[in-house]
């Protein structure tokens, strides 16, 4: 049974890693629902956050394959209940429709949105939240003339306590133990 997974992939900052990841997913016919790239809390380590829908068995195979890539340090796979996540969306709406009555005020308050810019031609709203919340706001704004709409990929952090720093330290110690000569 397919379900949504968030892949947190920690890599060295090298060109082409996203292409390699895409190839792995494409070969398994897994579509990327969203992707976000950013710095991580560890200097020199990049974080790719990828959202996919697939089976538990398939996501485990894909994660193992991703970890075999040279530039990949660690791959974590989480379900939505194991992470805290948000997306951000920007809406550019025709000013004409929204300025009648208290429409803009109700929409902003009801959806916990923010007004970023107001001009005679358009209003720009910002909404952070989950995909469903953003989709609901988009549907409510459409009758007023949505001129542009953009939504980011998922940004997520885990609920687990052990962080990447701990994993890197453990890996470093394990590698050091393997390379140290044994005394006989």
pLDDT tens across the length of the chain (184 residues): 999 999 999 998 888 999 999 999 999 999 999 999 999 888 888 999 999 999 999 999 999 999 999 899 999 999 999 999 999 999 999 888 777 667 888 888 999 999 999 999 999 999 999 999 999 999 999 998 899 999 999 999 887 766 666 766 665 666 565 555 555 5
**Interatomic CA distance for residues 42 and 47, integer angstroms:** 10
**Cβ(91)–Cβ(128) below 8 Å:** no
Instruction: Give the β-pairing of 72-78 and 83-94.
Output: unpaired
Question: What domains sit in the chain, N to C, each tagged with a CATH number?
Answer: 3-78 (3.30.70.260), 86-151 (3.30.70.1150)
Q: Nearest 10 degrees: CA dihedral of 36, 49, 14, 171?
A: 160
């Amino acid at each position: 049974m397919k379900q949504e997974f968030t892949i947190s992939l920690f890599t060295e900052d090298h060109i082409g890693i996203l292409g390699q990841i895409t190839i792995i997913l494409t070969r398994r016919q897994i579509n990327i629902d969203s992707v976000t790239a950013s710095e991580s809390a560890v200097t020199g380590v990049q974080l790719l956050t990828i959202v996919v829908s697939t089976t538990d068995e398939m996501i485990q195979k894909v994660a193992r394959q991703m970890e075999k890539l040279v530039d990949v340090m660690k791959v974590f796979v989480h379900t939505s209940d194991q992470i805290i996540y948000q997306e951000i969306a920007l809406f550019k709406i025709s000013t004409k429709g929204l300025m009648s009555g208290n429409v803009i005020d109700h929409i902003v308050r009801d959806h916990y949105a923010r007004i970023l810019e107001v001009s005679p031609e358009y209003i720009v709203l910002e909404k952070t939240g989950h995909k469903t919340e953003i989709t609901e706001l988009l549907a409510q704004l459409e009758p007023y003339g949505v001129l542009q709409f953009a939504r980011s990929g998922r940004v997520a952090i885990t609920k687990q306590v052990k962080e990447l720093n701990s994993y890197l330290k453990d890996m470093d110690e394990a590698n050091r133990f393997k390379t140290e000569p044994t005394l006989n």
